[in-house]
Amino acid sequence: MKFLPKTSEYTRLLVLSIAVGLLSGLAAVLLERFIRLIQQMIARTLTPDSAFNWPMLLLPAVGMLLSLLIVRYLIRDNIGHGVTKVLWSISRNESRIKPHNTWSSLVTSGLTIGFGGSVGAEAPIVYTGAAIGSNLGRAAGMTHHSITVLVGCGAAGAIAGIFKAPLAGVLFTLEILMFNISMTSITPLLLSTVTSTVVSYLLLGDYHPFSSTLTPFSMGNMPFYLVLGVFCGLMSLYFTRTTLGLEDRLGRYTRPFVKWIVCAVLMGLLVALFPPLFGEGYDSVSSLLNGNEVVFRNNTPLGFLLQSPWGIPAFFLGVMLLKVLTMTLTNAGGGVGGTFGPTLFIGAIAGFVLSRTFNLSLPLDTPLPEQNFVLVGMAGLMAGVMQAPLTAIFLIAEITGGYELLLPLILCSTVSYGFTRIWEKYSIYTKRLAQSGDLLTHDNDQAVLTLLNTEELIRDKYPRVQTGTTLREIVRIITNDNSAVIAVLDGEGKFQGVLDVDKLRRYITRTDAYDKLHAYNLMENPPAIIHRNEKMESVMAKFDKTEAWRLPVIADDGSYLGFLSKSRILIAYRDQLRELSAD
């Protein structure tokens, strides 16, 4: 239903971008309040710091189970990997996101994180914001291009709302989600992020979990920030590959409740050993950003490590390495959450571990400011894992007020990003899509091919005959039809071969063979066959290799669907390129 008056498309886009920013900001506030409400209720049940808090070992399992039940029996849809799902919807589903995603990720991630799941709220709220933009744009009767921009506005507004960082919201959308956005689309993104940020400030105040106490920047510490960049690059590779590898292994469990039990038990054991793994871990990050030692709510069997100087970085090295496991276990066990928050957490711990190690091992005249390294480490790991250095630099600078550390932020993020790209071409959000051929890139040619749908370009206008059809009947078809090819099928409609009309013309005068020759005598194998859901990049590779002008398309069971011609692809390519470049 088109509920906006008849105005220009761009004017309506600007109005809707403000509405999307407002709703995305409200969604971010609602998620934040929902998580804090659950955490406050749980905090009343926990025992004093001196005693072991057994409930902390069980609570993540409760949140995972509640989310699992909601997803399995109410939503009945896979809502994990929010940012990746947004990317897929842009490249493969015409920016259409299901209406339930405007609330389902919010509710399930709130339960997961509120009960101590070791994941972040950022990816679910991005999915929520993108769904708001998609559904609002469709309801307003906007074009595909404008709906895509509104999806970006929703994602940008969500990031801006949850972090109170409008610039970071825009950069996040430009670097990660919308590779080929035009410059005129920047204005809607800015309107959305500013609106969302204002809503967040009005309803939540200026509090932020990443407020920091930094020391003045010293140029003499730049070599150490360089080392931190390399360290963050290594950790980024570990983060991405370990996460995806564990997801594949845990995905082999076909029974969801058995998988929930396995993940819940492992989560409990890890939280018992390393209490900072409970929940998002932002309390620990806040302590480190202000130069304070992390205080645990409960004892740990590894508490003896915290009694020695070298034991502290050793303990947090374990926390840093195991956070990836608890994050993956939370999602695999039925929880809903993202990698954004864990990336910030691990980056902060990486900065602390490295700076504390330097301070303990090197005879420095002035100790390294550990809280500064914590802040820079957050940007470094984010730049490597998400492969979005600009977003990392300005997000961390915005949310912590750390603009005085802009030089080390740039150095560490750039080094981490460059180091990671040497061995890993894709980010944690895009690697799965790249493997399946569904990823849009900054390459316009590649982006257009990704957007083209093979099945939509199939033409079924060509005549078809059975394998036993006589030459007499084939000549009659040729006489009454100007098609260049004829498809040959068996009795079940399965494709068997093709008749080239030009080659058949030499038989027209051979009337003596009209009833002796049949289609199976005259047909030939095509130079290549295209499958219904084959990626356009693969289709074009077949055309280039065979130099054919048209190729047959078949379904998975071998049924004939029609032909795909190079001319039709080129027309669709031109139209898609025009739309992609539209202002």
> How does residue 573 score in pLDDT terms, banded at 50, 70 and 90?
low
Average pLDDT over residues 73-83: 83
Query: Is 551 part of a structural domain of the chain?
Result: yes
pLDDT digits (tens, 9 = 90+) for 275-285: 889 888 888 88
- Candidate from 78-92, 231-245, 336-350 with smallest mean pLDDT: 78-92
Determine whether 293 is exposed, middle or buried from the number of CB atoms within 10 Å of its CB (0-12, 13-18, 19+). Answer: exposed
Query: Is 63 part of a structural domain of the chain?
Result: yes
pLDDT reading at 6 higher than 80: no
> Are residues 389 and 469 both part of a single domain?
no
pLDDT of residue 520: 85
State both tokens at 76: 């009945």
Residue with the larger pLDDT of the pair 226 and 295: 226
Query: Is 104 part of a structural domain of the chain?
Result: yes
> Are residues 430 and 467 both part of a single domain?
no
Range of the domain at 154: 9-204
CATH code: domain of residue 550: 3.10.580.10
Q: Which among 150, 176, 204 is the end of a domain?
A: 204
**Among candidates 414, 28, 44, which has minimal Cα distance to 201?**
28
- Candidate from 100-104, 420-424, 546-550 with smallest mean pLDDT: 546-550
The angle subtended at Cα 117 by Cα 88 and Cα 377, nearest 5°, is 75
pLDDT digits (tens, 9 = 90+) for 377-414: 999 999 999 999 999 999 998 887 767 889 999 999 99
Query: Is 158 part of a structural domain of the chain?
Result: yes
pLDDT digits (tens, 9 = 90+) for 17-72: 999 999 999 999 999 999 999 988 887 766 555 455 667 788 999 999 999 999 99
Q: Which among 181, 204, 227 is the end of a domain?
A: 204
User: Based on the structure, what is the number of domains in the chain?
Assistant: 3
DSSP 3-state of 266: helix
State both tokens at 112: 């997961």
Measured from the Cβ of residue 425, the count of other Cβ atoms closer than 10 Å reads: 11
Q: Which among 402, 421, 439 is the end of a domain?
A: 439
Do residues 380 and 392 touch, judged by C-beta distance below 8 A? yes
User: Structure pTM?
Assistant: 0.78
Query: Is 335 part of a structural domain of the chain?
Result: yes
What angle do the packed helices 9-43 and 104-114 form, to 10 degrees?
A: 30
pLDDT reading at 229 higher than 90: yes
pLDDT reading at 77 higher than 70: yes
> Are residues 457 and 435 both part of a single domain?
no
pLDDT reading at 260 higher than 50: yes
Question: What are residue 231's phi and psi, to 5 degrees?
Answer: -60, -40
pLDDT digits (tens, 9 = 90+) for 303-355: 777 778 898 899 999 999 999 999 999 999 999 998 999 999 999 999 999 99
> Are residues 420 and 457 both part of a single domain?
no
Average pLDDT over residues 513-538: 84
Query: Is 37 part of a structural domain of the chain?
Result: yes
Q: How far apart are CA 105 and CA 98, in angstroms?
A: 12
> Are residues 433 and 456 both part of a single domain?
no
> How does residue 143 score in pLDDT terms, banded at 50, 70 and 90?
confident
Question: Would you state the torsion angle of the CA atoms of residues 366, 220, 209, 178, taken in this order, to the nearest 10 degrees?
Answer: -160
CATH code: domain of residue 33: 1.10.3080.10
SS3 readout for 212-242 = CCCCCCCHHHHHHHHHHHHHHHHHHHHHHHH
pLDDT reading at 430 higher than 50: yes
Do residues 417 and 387 touch, judged by C-beta distance below 8 A? yes
Share of the chain above pLDDT 90, in %: 39
Q: Please, where are the H alpha helices in 401-443?
A: 406-423, 431-436
**Among candidates 218, 213, 276, 280, which has minimal Cα distance to 63?**
280
- Candidate from 3-7, 214-218, 378-382, 548-552 with smallest mean pLDDT: 3-7
> Are residues 371 and 418 both part of a single domain?
yes
> Are residues 291 and 188 both part of a single domain?
no
The mean pLDDT of the chain is: 85
> Are residues 309 and 397 both part of a single domain?
yes
Query: Is 340 part of a structural domain of the chain?
Result: yes
> Are residues 321 and 434 both part of a single domain?
yes
pLDDT reading at 449 higher than 70: no
pLDDT of residue 182: 64
pLDDT of residue 48: 52
> How does residue 180 score in pLDDT terms, banded at 50, 70 and 90?
low
pLDDT of residue 578: 59
> Are residues 20 and 71 both part of a single domain?
yes
> Are residues 168 and 271 both part of a single domain?
no
Query: Is 377 part of a structural domain of the chain?
Result: yes
> Are residues 163 and 287 both part of a single domain?
no
Q: How far apart are CA 29 and CA 10, in angstroms?
A: 28
